[in-house]
Chains A and B, each alone.
Chain A
Amino acid sequence: MGRERLAVRKTYKLFIGGAFPRSESGRSYVVNDAKGRFLANASQASRKDARDAVAAARKAFGGWSARTPYNRGQILYRVAEVLEGRREQFAAELRAAGLAKNAATAEVDEAIDRWVWYAGWADKLGAVAGSANPVAGPFFNFSTPEPTGVVAVIAPDSPLLGLVSVVAPAIVSGNTAVVVASEPAPLTAITLAEVLATSDLPGGVVNVLTGRRAELAPWLASHMDVNALDLAGVAADAVKPLAEKAADNLKRVLPPGGSDWSAEPGTRRMTAFLETKTVWHPVGV
């Protein structure tokens, strides 16, 4: 006797400190596909969720930044491995959001390749962004890049490739991130969070909020414990007020830089969130 099976539908929640809580506010909002049909409800994070996410990111920063770059690279590569195993799921989600089958598969592949590309940078960034400096004196003088701290990322609307292209460069150098997912297309961000939660990435290194950018971004921009702000997904007219709020504690601000995420990324997004430490060593035996 066959019985019709009841579908088990996923509740899309936030990702804070390695856990998946609902919004503290209890709110959610409707996410539609490209044709305007109902897709799912997503949590609508409040400023207090943002505050909790920043606290979680700050807590994770010490451990993550202290890991060897080689180890961070291994962990990010592990993320790519798990992404690879979930290709079908991501492709299906992108198709549900309105992409054609081939385009969806291509975007997933490109996103995974992008992640691997950034993973490879983990132990090379020091050599490329650092330097041995000639100085007028008997000293060996060198500069090394250090992570800046907690990075608040306002992710672009490209639901997977764009998201991966802003998250990976922020954390590869040892920063921790609070990511505000795309407002109209937040679901893949939560699925990516499920990947991050199951691939050796310490809890709190990446925190994902879904909800209204206009509500969350100002709180992150003014937050004194956030060290950098990536405005990738912010509309041009909203950049200035956010940059002004960010100036209060001299956050590093990366303005939006176009929406073509399939282009060669370069090192810009990684070097934007670095500090430089210069050390003078006396030379001699």
Chain B
Amino acid sequence: MSKETLTGAPASRAELRAFLHGLPGVDQVGADERAARLATRSVKTSSKAQAIDLAISMVDLTTLEGADTPGKVRALCAKGAHPDPGDPGVPRVAAICVYPDMVGVAVEALKGTGIGVASVATAFPSGRAPMEAKLADTRMAVADGATEIDMVIDRGAFLAGDYAKVHEEIVATKQACGDAHLKVIFETGELVTYDNVRRASWLAMRAGADFIKTSTGKVSPAATLPVTMVMLEAVRDYRAATGRQVGVKPAGGIRTTKDAIKYLVLVNETAGPDWLTPQWFRLGASSLLNDLLMQRRKLATGVYSGPDYFTLD
């Protein structure tokens, strides 16, 4: 496969389809087994302290609820900037992830902190809206100051085999993003097979995605280790083929420090250390941050901490 084919527009619907179906299949049992084995790595003491700080700096602190208020978004921004107000050594998170109408509030609250504002867009989480509405959604979020856009793909079109439509949507959304980074959400829980995850990954990368993201967090199962591993393999192979690096963001269901460290091990062993920075790997989460802070304090003080000592979010 030439570099031009992997970066430019598809020659035809048939070419795109043939390309995606020509990708080698994923050995499901093997993938589960490898992910499970990597998850048994033991990361302790000073390595654990480093892993925790790295994980905190990779968190996309997220609130995506119908009940979100400007106050809640501001509180979340404050927490993202100073996760543990009693300890200035704690790194800030990578970004705050909100619905488009809250972007203005978050931008205002994060001024001067260096934290990105990520906005979900394109009729998140279902993606069931006319193309014009999705693009308008995206443009308004960018106009309000979002530095990152998390779009959802049209899973219906993908599962129906209409890959060209999905491709066009990603290309159009990428244009609407302008300078903002585009993360493409697959909702892997709805794609069902690892083969589909691999196809979606290559499809999104060909269409110009800056990041590929597992899930919206609204569907179960959300992010899993094997799915993330398949995506990490895809970005690794894509960089080897084209030279362009694409980031990965598992989201949803990552609640404990142990989970987060498993993902870091997976990144290191699958894509390599180049991806072990907030620029190329993110963890979409909300309750995870408190657990990371709790474990951090346990390492620092030597006694178990409790949720009473951290802010609710």
Q: Which residues of A are at the interface with B, using a C-beta cutoff of 8 A?
A: 51, 54, 58, 219, 222-226, 245, 248-249
- When the two chains form their complex, are residues B306 and A58 in contact, meaning their CB atoms are under 8 A apart? yes
A49 → chain B, closest Cβ, in Å? 12
Residues of A within 8 A of B30 (CB): none
Q: Give the tally of cross-chain contacts (CB within 8 A).
A: 27
- When the two chains form their complex, are residues B303 and A248 in contact, meaning their CB atoms are under 8 A apart? yes
Is B305 located at the chain interface by the 8 A CB criterion?
Answer: yes
B163-196 Cβ-contact flags toward A at 8 Å (1 or 0): 0000000000000000000000000000000000
- When the two chains form their complex, are residues B306 and A219 in contact, meaning their CB atoms are under 8 A apart? no
CB interface residues, B 27-53, toward A, < 8 Å: none
B276-313 Cβ-contact flags toward A at 8 Å (1 or 0): 00000000000000000000000000111111110000
Task: Determine the main DSSP class of A at the interface with B.
Answer: helix
- When the two chains form their complex, are residues B303 and A225 in contact, meaning their CB atoms are under 8 A apart? no
A-B contact pairs, 25 of them (CB 8 A): A51-B304, A54-B304, A58-B306, A58-B307, A219-B303, A219-B304, A222-B302, A222-B303, A222-B304, A223-B303, A223-B304, A223-B306, A224-B303, A224-B304, A224-B306, A224-B308, A224-B309, A225-B305, A225-B306, A225-B307, A225-B308, A226-B306, A245-B303, A248-B303, A249-B306
Residues of A within 8 A of B309 (CB): 224
Residues of A within 8 A of B307 (CB): 58, 225
Residues of B within 8 A of A249 (CB): 306
A225 → chain B, closest Cβ, in Å? 3
CA–CA, A222 and B303, complex, Å: 6
CA–CA, A249 and B306, complex, Å: 10
A224-B304, A225-B306 given; 20 more Cβ-contact pairs under 8 Å:
A54-B304, A58-B306, A58-B307, A219-B303, A219-B304, A222-B302, A222-B303, A222-B304, A223-B303, A223-B304, A223-B306, A224-B303, A224-B305, A224-B306, A224-B308, A225-B304, A225-B305, A225-B307, A225-B308, A245-B303
Residues of B within 8 A of A51 (CB): 304
CA–CA, A249 and B302, complex, Å: 14
Closest to B304 in A: A223
Residues of A within 8 A of B306 (CB): 58, 223-226, 249
CA–CA, A245 and B304, complex, Å: 12
Residues of B within 8 A of A219 (CB): 303-304
CA–CA, A246 and B187, complex, Å: 46
Residues of A within 8 A of B302 (CB): 222
CA–CA, A225 and B309, complex, Å: 9
Closest to B302 in A: A222
A149 → chain B, closest Cβ, in Å? 9
Residues of A within 8 A of B305 (CB): 224-225
Residues of B within 8 A of A224 (CB): 303-306, 308-309
B8 → chain A, closest Cβ, in Å? 52
CA–CA, A58 and B304, complex, Å: 13
CA–CA, A226 and B306, complex, Å: 8
